[in-house]
Structure 1
Amino acid sequence: MIRFWIWLRNILIAVVVLGVGGWLLLLREVPQPINNDPAFAFNHGSIGNEAAQGLPEWIWRVLPIVFPEHLPGDQKGWSALGVAWRSGDELPIGFSNKTLGVIPRIAPNCAFCHQGTYRLNAEDPETIVSAGAGTRVDVQGFIKFLIAVGQDDKFNARNIMPAIKSRVDMPLWERVMYRFVLIPGVRFALKGQAETFAWMQDNPTWGIGRIDPFNPVKYTALELPDDGTIGNSDMMPLWDLQAAQPTTHRRFSVHWDGLLSDVHETVVAGAIGDGMTYKSFPGAEENLKVIEDFSNVAMPPKSPFSSDLDPGDPFYVSAEAVAQGAEIYAGLCADCHEPSGTRFRTPIPMVEIGTDRHRLDMWTAEAARRYGNYQEDYAWNFEFFHKTDGYNAVPLVGLWLKGPYLHNGSVPNLAALLEAPKDRPTEFWRGSDLVDPVNGGFVSGEDDDPLRRSWKVDTSVPGNANTGHTWGTDLGQAEKGALLAYLKTL
């Protein structure tokens, strides 16, 4: 019997030592380098999701090299996902690098979805726009890539370690850690993602530049059952959020359906949805504040459309047309889309706006209740989650960089948005960042931009309907032309 108790004591000591050692090596928060550039903090700062969503740095770096066949399209490297990579940065925009224990981990952050690029001419290099609408990013492609590599028999140390060794000279202890702990652990975790995202198999593809933003949260953190809803919608830019700050008289809604009416809660809830926990929040809180502050003041670049250009320039718009269009806009659009308007950032009832309702139905009253009370034993203090009955009247700042249009990206350009729904294109291609000088937005033909991977939008697919938002569709052609000229300048 004494031997048994000695044996049990030794086992318990070993478990404690292994647990503490594992925490020290793999999970312990350590001080991170400080960067005083708010844009860098937005593009690469931690949101506290490394333990849940992060990959050990050198596994992350070699995955596209070892498993190129699982990347979307025929591109190589992480650029296949449509993420931009600023010269001089160690990572593409939308990824953070944070050390937990002794292992750096790379994880997606807010900028993974909220980044933009554009080109005015086909041969131009891309111009990167921080906090943009993510019109080229393939979020679902990233998820499917990780699921596929986790199920691939090649995911083992025999295949991954040579790729790592060819790029970095690791000390022995780190090689041992990668070979016997990190690689098997990551594969086990990625295999589990297949079950976590099994609900995607029966839903329409999200597509480039779109995301189903809250079903993943509903089915995991909020523990709601799969209800078959479709939330596919465009990634929104995070520009000028100071215009969404409450006044003494009213609050303003954010998200496509206005499910929140507080910018701070939106930032924190977004980080939770991406894997932040109450344990990691203290280490991410400061950077989340920087992200919030940056989003309050970030603005898009000025529109290239101007009456100051030579009339032969493709981006020339006449001053007369712009002035006439501004008058039409003031009478027809400003009440919803200008900060001074009475309906600015308020949900417009579904019976009035008439756009595809799938994204609206995805967010339920029960989801709002559960998120509002999420982890009640921890003081998140959420107060402003709602269930609404319509789509938010969003600001039009940077409109020229937001195509395709409507919440689900079902209308390719501004010119088509001014046509009756029956006359709008039923099929087009999205994924380009080449500005369309004629119609506004980005070019949308299958072969319009061979330098970018594109994805076909079929408006007959559930969630993709191009109906509704008929304001301006009954104008005469001259008036439509004038309004289009003005909208291009926003």
Structure 2
Amino acid sequence: MKHKFHIQFFLISVLLLASCSSENLAEELEIIEEPEVIEEPQPIIIRTTAIPESAQRPGNASAGETYMFTGDYMSSGIPYDAWVFGNGEDNSNVLNRTGDNAVISYDNTAFTTKNGVRAVAPNCLNCHSSFINDSYVIGLGQHDGDYTGNRADNVPLLTAAINSIYGSDSPEAISYAQFSKSILAIGPKTLTKSRGVNPANKITEVLISHRDKNTLEWQEEPLIELNDEVLPTDVPAWWLLKKKNAMFYTGMGRMDFCKSFIGASLLTIDGTEKAIEVDEKVEDILAYIYSLEAPEYPFEIDTNLAGQGKVIFENTCSSCHGTYGAQESYPNFLVALESIQTDPELSNHYNTPSELNTYFLDWFNNGWFGTFGSPLEIVPEGGYIAPPLDGVWATAPYLHNGSVPTLLDMLNSKARPEFWKRSFDNADYDTSKVGWNYTVENGQSDKNTYNTNLKGYGNGGHIFGDELTNAERMAVLEYLKTL
């Protein structure tokens, strides 16, 4: 996108002669009017780095769907009967599962542990599916998750109940033990300041701080101490992955994408034997994710206005976000922080030398994940990926930290609210601004209010739409509905 800055220089000569009269001044001074100098507008140079492509493992999409919905990629969980008793049966069955899973919520899976216990644990869809306008969409990032409370608070009571019902040495208690350890470790370290954002990065840090990089075995005492700071992220849409050469907003996830999926199993995994078993099946999960398509905009679109918006978009936005339609293209650019100017904290967190980053990079790149089979490689370069925009209408809120509630606010940085609040009703959708309906607040009164002044929660940057007229913004907005 080109950016123009008009800079005017004015030369004003002022001479103060206290001893002279104004008449003498008029005689003695020759006033010369300098012509106004206007420099030619210069575009902002957007510094980008092209992310190289890596070959990915082929798989079977149908098998991947089955494994994702009902597979045993978790190794520990809450005993099935106890889970149903505590949560009740969920008969919505949006995944059309059978057997025990037919009455389990879509974001959990019933499976059989190594010691033969039927248990329940969270699955991938916990973060990677959600509802919008009362429609369930697989691959839509969880936009309404609540991580403001300590999820470990109820673990002692649950543990006591399981030990009382089944016995502390029972197969049920044994198969539940690792799940409880992980939640106790994660709970107090992954608290967000607002509802709707995700602490996935910090969850990963906590889990690997308790696991040996080579054996993946759980360590009771953390191998590195972590502070309580949590940097928020918005969960990206899965259907975008087929176009991307790197995973995560920072573009750190390189080489084998499949390996990164095993990261979810770190919650309960009991060693490399199970990791190898899962590794043989996650290539099917990748194939399934690649099969997902963006949902179509469900409301009316002004096709004439969208056509005008397409021209504007392709002249101003496509160099980073790609083109769409019959001849699609996507450049896979990592945009430098000084160019994108969005909240730098997440990028800096992994791109600044520290004890944690040394541990983090060594754990992934030199441990099991980076050396077994097809390796995953973590490469922090700084900056953020300019994402594809397929289905962008559904992926509010925007930016990597979910700090901007609508696309219209994305196109006009000056209009973005400092404090904003939404209802978290998935049907409370604003078709005019394209995103969530919200109210502007004077401060953060509760967890449903987003405070852009907090570290990592900033909503600045990406000012490229500021140069557009209001009419041009509305045209681009109409075009974005069609993607």
The verdict on a shared fold, with TM-score over 0.5 as the criterion, is: yes
- Matches of 2:267 and 2:197, distance apart in 1: 17
Which position in structure 1 is the counterpart of 2:306?
322
Which position in structure 2 is the counterpart of 1:336?
320
* Count of paired positions: 392
What aligned pairs does 1:328-367 form with structure 2 within 5 A after superposition? 328-338=312-322, 344-364=331-351, 365-366=357-358, 367=360
Shift of 1:262: 3.2
SS of corresponding position for 1:233: coil
Unaligned stretches of 5+ residues in structure 2: 1-60, 214-222, 352-356
User: Are residues 1:460 and 2:453 paired?
Assistant: yes
SS of corresponding position for 1:279: helix
- Matches of 1:84 and 1:416, distance apart in 2: 36
SS of corresponding position for 2:189: helix
Shift of 1:403: 0.3
Bigger helix fraction:
1
* One-letter amino acid of the structure 1 residue matched with residue 83 of structure 2: W
Which position in structure 2 is the counterpart of 1:409?
402
1:138–1:215 CA distance, 2 compared to 1 (3 A): same
Instruction: Pick one of 210, 213, 221 that aligns with 2:198.
Output: 210
1:235–1:84 CA distance, 2 compared to 1 (3 A): farther
* One-letter amino acid of the structure 1 residue matched with residue 141 of structure 2: A
* One-letter amino acid of the structure 2 residue matched with residue 138 of structure 1: D
What aligned pairs does 1:208-247 form with structure 2 within 5 A after superposition? 208-213=196-201, 214-221=204-211, 223-227=223-227, 229-244=229-244
- Matches of 2:480 and 2:348, distance apart in 1: 30
* One-letter amino acid of the structure 2 residue matched with residue 358 of structure 1: E
Q: State which structure, 1 or 2, has the greater radius of gyration over its C-alpha atoms.
A: 2
Instruction: Pick one of 385, 396, 399 that aligns with 2:392.
Output: 399
* One-letter amino acid of the structure 2 residue matched with residue 156 of structure 1: A
Shift of 1:374: 1.9
Which position in structure 1 is the counterpart of 2:421?
428
User: Do the aligned partners of 2:256 and 2:375 also contact (CA within 8 Å) in 1?
Assistant: no
User: Do the aligned partners of 1:46 and 1:287 also contact (CA within 8 Å) in 2?
Assistant: no
- Matches of 2:207 and 2:349, distance apart in 1: 11
Query: RMSD of the alignment, in Å?
Result: 3.6
User: Are residues 1:288 and 2:267 paired?
Assistant: no
**1:334-353 deviation digits (Å, cap 9, x = unpaired):** 12122789973332111111
Shift of 1:140: 6.1
- Matches of 1:377 and 1:406, distance apart in 2: 29
- Matches of 2:275 and 2:104, distance apart in 1: 23
Normalising by structure 1, report the TM-score: 0.70
1:324–1:140 CA distance, 2 compared to 1 (3 A): same
Which position in structure 2 is the counterpart of 1:150?
155
Shift of 1:383: 4.8
User: Do the aligned partners of 2:64 and 2:286 also contact (CA within 8 Å) in 1?
Assistant: no
Normalising by structure 2, report the TM-score: 0.71
* More contact order relative to length (CA 8 Å, sep ≥ 6): 2
Shift of 1:411: 0.4
- Matches of 1:263 and 1:191, distance apart in 2: 29
User: Are residues 1:199 and 2:189 paired?
Assistant: yes
* One-letter amino acid of the structure 1 residue matched with residue 104 of structure 2: L
User: Do the aligned partners of 2:370 and 2:376 also contact (CA within 8 Å) in 1?
Assistant: no
- Matches of 2:64 and 2:369, distance apart in 1: 32
User: Do the aligned partners of 2:241 and 2:247 also contact (CA within 8 Å) in 1?
Assistant: no
Shift of 1:296: 1.2
- Matches of 2:381 and 2:368, distance apart in 1: 23
Identity of aligned residues (%): 18
1:377–1:259 CA distance, 2 compared to 1 (3 A): closer
Which position in structure 1 is the counterpart of 2:39?
none
User: Do the aligned partners of 2:322 and 2:328 also contact (CA within 8 Å) in 1?
Assistant: yes
* One-letter amino acid of the structure 1 residue matched with residue 246 of structure 2: S
Of stretches 208-217 and 179-188 in structure 1, the one that deviates more from structure 2 is 179-188
Unaligned stretches of 5+ residues in structure 1: 1-34, 66-76, 120-125, 162-175, 245-251, 305-314, 448-452
* One-letter amino acid of the structure 2 residue matched with residue 463 of structure 1: G
Which position in structure 2 is the counterpart of 1:46?
72
User: Are residues 1:374 and 2:387 paired?
Assistant: no
1:187–1:290 CA distance, 2 compared to 1 (3 A): closer
Shift of 1:328: 1.2
- Matches of 1:351 and 1:342, distance apart in 2: 25
- Matches of 1:423 and 1:240, distance apart in 2: 25
